[in-house]
Amino acid sequence: MTQLMKAAKSGTKDGLEKTRMAVMRKVSFLHRKDVLGDSEEEDMGLLEVSVSDIKPPAPELGPMPDGLSPQQVVRRHILGSIVQSEGSYVESLKRILQDYRNPLMEMEPKALSARKCHVVFFRVKEILHCHSMFQIALSSRVAEWDSTEKIGDLFVASFSKSMVLDVYSDYVNNFTSAMSIIKKACLTKPVFLEFLKRRQVCSPDRVTLYGLMVKPIQRFPQFILLLQDMLKNTPRGHPDRLSLQLALTELETLAEKLNEQKRLADQVAEIQQLTKSVSDRSSLNKLLTSGQRQLLLCETLTETVYGDRGQLIKSKERRVFLLNDMLVCANINFKPANHRGQLEISSLVPLGPKYVVKWNTALPQVQVVEVGQDGGTYDKDNVLIQHAGAKKAPASGQAHNKVYLGPPRLFQELQDLQKDLAVVEQITLLVSTLHGTYQNLNMTVAQDWCLALQRLMRVKEEEIHSANKCRLRLLLPGKPDKGTWSDT
């Protein structure tokens, strides 16, 4: 154990490697398995983690010494948050294995096959191994905090290794597949659904399996926030400042790579979800499953359709899929039907939206008519946006000829504010005719009401202009109406 503590104190990559060797030789709460597991795990060359009754000493800060500066006090509190969050994270990883994976593997008859169990819990053990090693080194660093006040180099040594990126990348790339297996098993195997419900009820915090398994995806953003706070409270010239900057660079780079992999995995899942909403015999299904299509962008937009005279026909939120050779528009349904207890299942694992394809067209046939609000004019008298190319209606009427560009909700709110302002102005005129003096009913208060409403109207106008900058107007084949798309 002495060798372990000495190795952890250095906080360098060499020190962490010595820590690893010390753990393998001396520490009783970890041991190396003689027999490797599945073939997918053999290529990692990782130390297998096994939890016994003997646990490593938990990182714990001693009593706060006297005479600390305000920054030192804050840094100490941040270190306490790091220790607490890391301990909670490691316990969550252990719960995934002990409360879910192991019972499912031992269950007879099987609620989930061994192969599916391996897919669902892929790389959880390796992630636990990485953070168990980090926690051991963290214990030593915390014990001597008041004399050294250094933590940045420990993060650099622990999370700059390619092994960390490899296991987290595998986990992130596999997450969608894991959730898909869990959702399907909940729908088709009542014994599995009952198992998940029972485990959640018995857990101390009622966190679901999904809630536990999403934590590795959230871990590095949490680390980054904590280290950013630590750096803000580390003065220039402090021995820990440069190490903290290096640690933040390492973690931000790692998080960026994982976010990109998660984005790509989510795009694949979106295509799969879209394909499920299309009939197996339809031509669109064949196109989506041909393997030649790539999803470039998928966004939730507001579709606004105009008539021949420029009048607003309809406006609704849609999911738009931009593929490498086609554009697909789908309606979104987030409400699960109460089919086979889907409402109950959705409380355990997100079922995701269901799509109803409205139309699709080949990308070369889509004509971009207008981008942004360059063609629009702003009518301050009526607080409306004119349709590009439409004639301006007289101020006296015919408001139906005007087209609201941007989210209709913003225009409705702006119209409501305009009507309220007119009412308040009438009230102000009536208040001016009062002969007596009354609390909260005088000209000063009434004028404040008017000013407040005018400020709200200016804010709403700015929101409308910002929304119009995100507007895209398209002309589709076989559709005489011009559709405007606004980013929501």
Which among 112, 97, 114, 119 is positioned nearest to 191, based on CA atoms?
112
Lowest mean pLDDT of 5-14, 73-82, 125-134, 240-249, name the range.
5-14
My answer on whether 228 and 355 are in the same domain is no
Q: Quick one: pLDDT at residue 299?
A: 84
The torsion angles phi and psi of 359, rounded to 5 degrees, stand at -165, 160
My answer on whether 123 and 68 are in the same domain is yes
Per cent of the chain over pLDDT 90 is: 36
My answer on whether 55 and 128 are in the same domain is yes
Q: Say if 486 falls within a structural domain.
A: no
Q: Quick one: pLDDT at residue 4?
A: 41
What average pLDDT score do residues 24-34 get?
A: 36
More confident residue, 391 or 183: 183
Q: Quick one: pLDDT at residue 339?
A: 54
The torsion angles phi and psi of 122, rounded to 5 degrees, stand at -60, 125
Q: Quick one: pLDDT at residue 7?
A: 43
What are 203's two structure tokens? 């857990």
Q: Is residue 79 over pLDDT 90?
A: yes
Amino acid letter, residue 7: A
Q: Is residue 377 over pLDDT 50?
A: no
My answer on whether 125 and 253 are in the same domain is yes
Q: Say if 234 falls within a structural domain.
A: yes
What average pLDDT score do residues 343-362 get?
A: 78
Give the end of a domain, one of 276, 303, 331: 276
Q: Is residue 156 over pLDDT 70?
A: yes
Q: Which domain holds residue 41?
A: 2-276
My answer on whether 175 and 236 are in the same domain is yes
Lowest mean pLDDT of 77-81, 238-242, 432-436, 475-479, name the range.
475-479
My answer on whether 209 and 269 are in the same domain is yes
* 488/62 Cα distance (integer angstroms): 50
Per cent of the chain over pLDDT 70 is: 71
What CATH number should be reported for the domain holding residue 159? Answer: 1.20.900.10
Q: Say if 477 falls within a structural domain.
A: no
Give the end of a domain, one of 276, 302, 318: 276
Q: Say if 330 falls within a structural domain.
A: yes
My answer on whether 19 and 45 are in the same domain is yes
Q: Say if 369 falls within a structural domain.
A: no
What average pLDDT score do residues 243-268 get?
A: 93
My answer on whether 133 and 251 are in the same domain is yes
Q: Is residue 426 over pLDDT 70?
A: yes
Report, in this order, helix, strand and coil percent for the chain, each rounded to 5.
Answer: 55, 15, 30
* SS3 of residue 438 by DSSP: strand
My answer on whether 450 and 395 are in the same domain is yes
Give the end of a domain, one of 364, 393, 417: 364
Q: Quick one: pLDDT at residue 310?
A: 62
Q: Say if 484 falls within a structural domain.
A: no
My answer on whether 264 and 191 are in the same domain is yes
Mean pLDDT of the chain: 77
My answer on whether 257 and 343 are in the same domain is no
Which among 179, 172, 177 is positioned nearest to 209, based on CA atoms?
179
Q: Is residue 34 over pLDDT 70?
A: no
Angle between helices 408-431 and 443-469 (to 10 degrees): 170
More confident residue, 292 or 108: 108
Q: Say if 283 falls within a structural domain.
A: no
Q: For the chain, what is the domain count?
A: 3
Q: Say if 485 falls within a structural domain.
A: no
Those residues whose C-beta lies under 8 Å from the C-beta of residue 392, and which sit 6 or more positions away, are 377, 379, 386
My answer on whether 43 and 104 are in the same domain is yes
Confidence of residue 479 (pLDDT cuts 50, 70, 90): low
